[in-house]
Amino acid sequence: MEMWLRTWAILWKDILIEVRTKGTFNAMAFFAALILFIFSFAIGPDFELLRRIAAGLLWVGITFTGLLALARTYHSEELAGGLEALLLYPGEPRAIFLGKLIGNLMVLLVVEAILYPVAAVLFHMQLAGHVLPVAGIAVLGTFGFSVIGTFYSALTLHLRAREVMLPLLVLPLLVPVILGAVSATAALIDPSARGGVGGWVRLLIAFDVLYFVVCTWTFPVLLER
Amino acid sequence: MGQLGEASVSTGSSGAGTPALRLGGAGKRFARNWGLRDVDLEVGPGELVALTGPNGAGKTTLLKIVSALHRATTGTVEVLGCRLPAEENLVRERSTLLPPHGYVYEQLTGLENLRFARLMAGVKPTSETREQIDRALDRVGLLAAADERVGGYSSGMRKRLAIARLLLRPVELVLMDEPYASLDVAGIELVDEIVGELRAGGSTILLASHRWERAIREADRLVVMERGRITWMGSPGEWAGRPAGAGGA
Amino acid sequence: MSEPSVSPRLRGWHRILGLVALVTTVSGSVVALFLVPPDALQGQVERLLYVHVPAAWLAFLAFFVVFVMSVLYLIQRDPRWDMVAASSAEIGVLFTALTLALGSLWGKPTWGVWWTWDPRITTTAILLVIYVGYLAVRSFAEDPERRARWSAVVGIVGFADVPIVYLSVTWWRSLHQPPSSPMSMAPAFVWTLMLNVLAFTLVYWYLLLRRYRVAVAERELEDRAAEG
């Protein structure tokens, strides 16, 4: 019971701070949309091509924006003097991980709620009729992303060159997530794409469960000082 | 006008004879140097021990190890009968640290910071806890500023907020790192008062300070540190009475 | 914290191991280069496989060792496990890079391209990045205890990812092209391959021990430098 109070405490605190720090979230959302625009320019006006690779472009955009969001996971603690601000209180250390994880997940999902429609418009994606399944896949993929990212952002917090280290450590691990999310989404909305959605969804779920367990279990090791 | 909650603190499982704190050859290594080296220290329950020494002497490191925020690299550490680092959580439950710079969130109000602290300590928010928070804020003189963001607080006010947070959680072992820093005369008196109350309630106190205030003068023991080691130990009176020019042993 | 050291008896075995590794490698190379007949389809290029496959095997073996040592370190906190893990990672990254380079060299004349998205080679490339991440964490963390702890975590989490990556990439590729037919190998080829795999494995153990001994010395230097 006390663990959930702690998880809620961190979530509540981070939401409050985020809401009061106007501008950060907006900047992130604009950044994400901007990436999608740049893709359009980089790839050129072949709209048929853009439509076919839309899911991939979307997830690259999500990945880059996600890395930005993840880097700020412990930002409020850093301003307050360090992770010790959280360690001062007795209780289950994994609650910190869970609280931060849910926070990151929420931020990313909100950004995606904006990005998907933008991508649908820019890349002529046919999302109509598939909104729920596509959203479901987005949630599964984002969950895996958030687990790995929240975990490693704690590890790289005190590491030199951490702006580079976080992506370096996180991206290779995310290959299955990106593959799964993109392939499943493409299979759903693109009639010309092959491959079963079910298999990819199972992969995403397995990934999410595995890493949620591994990261939650191992998290206290990262908090030792 | 005692501490909020119980007037005195139970000593839990440590019993009357167990030292509150026992360090044997404790050391802490950082990347390029040792912050603490070969520290042997035993503190009995209910004692008030003052730590002093120049910057970098290791006072903060020592306090952090005792409060289970840092792990010692060498030696044995036993706090309130619990072996560290194995029983970290138990130690954190029964001790608390007052840090030199609050560990408070600037974008939250004073009140919200304390509510956060209570939630993190596993305390359900009820009207009673809300009252306790108000009383703590009143005690440190922050009730009027409770709904202002900490970003607008002076450093003295932030320190008072941290003190209020300390008052909300009665524990057996209280560690204070430069409690007088940033405070005005009234604040210093407040700290001395609270130290007195904590002692009366049976808590063991370890207090690190540059400044020679009442709590230090009245401490049971004074420990002088330099470059990570303990260089002198005795009563404050002895230290004050040292002939001019005499350094640590 | 126990003081790591290397006993003289270990050094004796080490020299013998080195000798045996050398002999095996030389004989393996001789057989692979001269004694075994060239492949009917691929010609002389196929000889590259006698190095490429063992290197790949070692890349994964080395990482498995990193994984095991990382787990042991987190449980026992003995710095020796950490040093073995780091040594294995360094050797592993070399073999991984070698695998990729040889794969490319083999791929160009065989399939006409420097890079194919074959699941195995793709997974190996990702393994390389994970290794590099592991070594980067080590080089950016100055405190020895943190360095050991963080890289142990990276070693464990990274290792768990490799099979998943392989699975997902295989799936992904199977959507776009039929799986590459497994090469049938005549007994002569298999024996040569086994000989070279053995040779590489011995070389790995030899290098691991060597690197470990250097790591012990480095550690001692670090400890002395931190005095005060």
Supply the DSSP string of A119-163, one letter for each residue: HHHHTT---TT-HHHHHHHHHHHHHHHHHHHHHHHHHGGGSTTHH
The helix-helix angle for C144-174 and A197-223 (nearest 10°) equals 180
Distance separating alpha carbons of residues C113 and A71, to the nearest angstrom: 38
Partner residue facing A176 (CB), from C149, C168, C175: C168
Tokens of B140: 């440190």
Residues, chain C: 228
- Of A28 and C226, more confident: A28
Residues B47/B204, Cβ–Cβ less than 8 Å: yes
What is residue C38's DSSP assignment? Answer: P
- Span C165-177, mean pLDDT? 80
The terminus-to-terminus CA distance of chain A in angstroms comes to 26
Own/partner pairs, C146-150, CB within 8 angstroms, 24+ separation = C146/A158, C147/C82, C148/C73, C148/C79, C148/C82, C149/A221, C149/A222, C149/A224, C149/C73, C149/C74, C150/A155, C150/A159, C150/A222
Which residues of C fall below an 8 Å CB-CB distance to A? 74, 126, 129-130, 132-133, 136-137, 140-142, 146, 149-150, 152-154, 156-158, 160-161, 164-165, 167-169, 171-172, 175
Distance separating alpha carbons of residues A141 and A206, to the nearest angstrom: 11
Whether the pLDDT of residue C6 is over 70: the answer is no
Whether the pLDDT of residue A99 is over 70: the answer is yes
C224 touches chain B (CB under 8 A): no
Percent of chain A at pLDDT above 90?
Answer: 70
Whether the pLDDT of residue C2 is over 50: the answer is no
**Out of A13-17, B51-55, B194-198, C223-227, which region has the weakest mean confidence (pLDDT)?**
C223-227
- Of A194 and C69, more confident: C69
Query: Which run of H or E residues covers position C81?
Result: helix C79-111
Distance separating alpha carbons of residues A170 and A150, to the nearest angstrom: 10
Whether the pLDDT of residue C5 is over 70: the answer is no
How would residue C14 be classed by pLDDT, with cut points 50, 70 and 90? confident
B31 touches chain C (CB under 8 A): yes
- Of C137 and C227, more confident: C137
Using a CB-CB cut-off of 8 Å, the residues of chain A touching B117 are 88-89
How would residue A4 be classed by pLDDT, with cut points 50, 70 and 90? very high
Whether the pLDDT of residue A156 is over 90: the answer is yes
Mean pLDDT of chain B: 87
Using a CB-CB cut-off of 8 Å, the residues of chain A touching C146 are 158
Using a CB-CB cut-off of 8 Å, the residues of chain B touching A91 are 89, 92, 120-122
Query: Which B-chain residues 110-129 have CB contacts (< 8 A) with chain A?
Result: 112, 116-117, 119-124
Distance separating alpha carbons of residues C75 and C91, to the nearest angstrom: 24
- Span B164-182, mean pLDDT? 93
Cβ neighbours of B57 (radius 10 Å): 22
How would residue A193 be classed by pLDDT, with cut points 50, 70 and 90? low
Query: What is the DSSP track for A176-195?
Result: HHHHHHHHHHHHHH-TT--S
- Span B237-244, mean pLDDT? 75
Query: CB–CB of B31 and C142 under 8 A?
Result: yes
Question: What are the structural domain ranges in chain A?
Answer: 2-223
Strand partners, B83: B78
In three-state form (DSSP H/G/I as H, E/B as E, the rest C), the secondary structure along chain B is: CCCCCCCCCCCHHHCCCCCCEEEEEEEEECCCCEEEEEEEEEECCCCEEEEECCCCCCHHHHHHHHCCCCCCCEEEEEECCEEECCCHHHHHHHEEEECCCCCCCCCCEHHHHHHHHHHHCCCCCCHHHHHHHHHHHHHCCCCCCCCCEHHHCCHHHHHHHHHHHHHCCCCCEEEEECCCCCCCHHHHHHHHHHHHHHHHCCCEEEEECCCCCHHHHCCCEEEEEECCEEEEEECHHHHHCCCCCCCCC
Mean pLDDT of chain A: 91
Using a CB-CB cut-off of 8 Å, the residues of chain C touching A172 are 126, 129-130, 133, 158, 161, 165
Own/partner pairs, A51-54, CB within 8 angstroms, 24+ separation = A51/A123, A51/A124, A51/A125, A51/A190, A52/A186, A52/A190, A52/A192, A52/A193, A53/A123, A54/A119, A54/A120, A54/A123, A54/A124, A54/A125, A54/A186
Q: What is the pLDDT of residues C63-113, one digit of tens each?
A: 999 999 999 999 999 999 999 999 999 999 999 999 999 988 888 888 788
How would residue C129 be classed by pLDDT, with cut points 50, 70 and 90? very high
**Out of A64-68, A188-192, B68-72, C119-123, which region has the weakest mean confidence (pLDDT)?**
A188-192
- For the segment(s) B19-240, the CATH number from 3.40.50.300, 1.20.1250.20, 2.40.128.720, 3.40.50.620 is 3.40.50.300
* C-alpha C49 chain-centroid distance: 16
Partner residue facing C157 (CB), from A168, A179, A214: A214
Residue C43: strand, helix, or coil: strand
Residue with tokens 């780091």: C86
Residues A45/A124, Cβ–Cβ less than 8 Å: no
Query: CB–CB of C142 and B33 under 8 A?
Result: no
How would residue B207 be classed by pLDDT, with cut points 50, 70 and 90? very high
Residues C151/C82, Cβ–Cβ less than 8 Å: yes
The whole-number pLDDT of residue B11 equals: 42
Query: CB–CB of C1 and B32 under 8 A?
Result: no
Q: C179 exposed, middle or buried (CB, 10 Å; 0-12, 13-18, 19+)? A: exposed
- Span B125-154, mean pLDDT? 93
Q: What is the pLDDT of residues C174-219, one digit of tens each?
A: 766 555 545 556 777 888 888 899 999 999 999 999 999 999 999 9
C143 touches chain B (CB under 8 A): yes
**CA-angle at B202, arms to B197 and B204, nearest 5°:** 95
Distance separating alpha carbons of residues A222 and A150, to the nearest angstrom: 11
Query: CB–CB of B74 and C1 under 8 A?
Result: yes
Distance separating alpha carbons of residues A152 and A164, to the nearest angstrom: 12
How would residue B106 be classed by pLDDT, with cut points 50, 70 and 90? very high
- Span C31-44, mean pLDDT? 76
Tokens of C42: 């691929």
Query: What is the DSSP track for A187-219?
Result: HHH-TT--S-HHHHHHHHHHHHHHHHHHHHHHH
How far is B145 from chain C, CA to nearest CA, in Å? Answer: 41
Task: Identify the closest residue of chain B to C226 by CA–CA distance.
Answer: B33
Cβ neighbours of C183 (radius 10 Å): 11
Whether the pLDDT of residue B14 is over 80: the answer is no
User: Across the beta sheet with B82-84, what order do the strands follow?
Assistant: B34-43, B21-29, B74-79, B82-84
The whole-number pLDDT of residue B8 equals: 42
Using a CB-CB cut-off of 8 Å, the residues of chain C touching B32 are 142, 225-226
Whether the pLDDT of residue B12 is over 60: the answer is no
Q: Compute, in degrees rounded to 10, the torsion defined by CA atoms A50, A112, A3, B100.
A: 110
Using a CB-CB cut-off of 8 Å, the residues of chain A touching B120 are 5-6, 9-10, 86, 88-89, 91
- Touching C (3+ Cβ pairs <8 A), the chains are A, B
Please name which of C56, C63, C61 lies closest in space to residue C89, comparing C-alpha atoms. Answer: C63
* C-alpha B220 chain-centroid distance: 16
The whole-number pLDDT of residue C175 equals: 67
Whether the pLDDT of residue B47 is over 80: the answer is yes
Which one-letter amino acid corresponds to residue B237?
A: G
* C-alpha C79 chain-centroid distance: 22
The whole-number pLDDT of residue B134 equals: 95
The whole-number pLDDT of residue C177 equals: 57
Whether the pLDDT of residue B7 is over 50: the answer is no
The whole-number pLDDT of residue C190 equals: 83
Q: Give which of C3, C74, C139, C143 to mutate to test B binding, by max B Cβ within 10 Å.
A: C143
- Span C151-159, mean pLDDT? 95
Q: What is the pLDDT of residues B213-230, one digit of tens each?
A: 888 888 999 999 999 999
- Span C37-61, mean pLDDT? 83
Residues A59/A182, Cβ–Cβ less than 8 Å: yes
How would residue B10 be classed by pLDDT, with cut points 50, 70 and 90? very low
Query: CB–CB of A81 and B103 under 8 A?
Result: yes
Percent of chain C at pLDDT above 70?
Answer: 90
Residue with tokens 């790949």: C56
What is the pTM (predicted TM-score) of this model? 0.89
**Out of A56-70, B228-242, C83-97, which region has the weakest mean confidence (pLDDT)?**
B228-242
- Span A22-44, mean pLDDT? 89
Mean pLDDT of chain C: 86
Tokens of C5: 């050291």
The complex's ipTM works out to 0.90
The whole-number pLDDT of residue B6 equals: 38
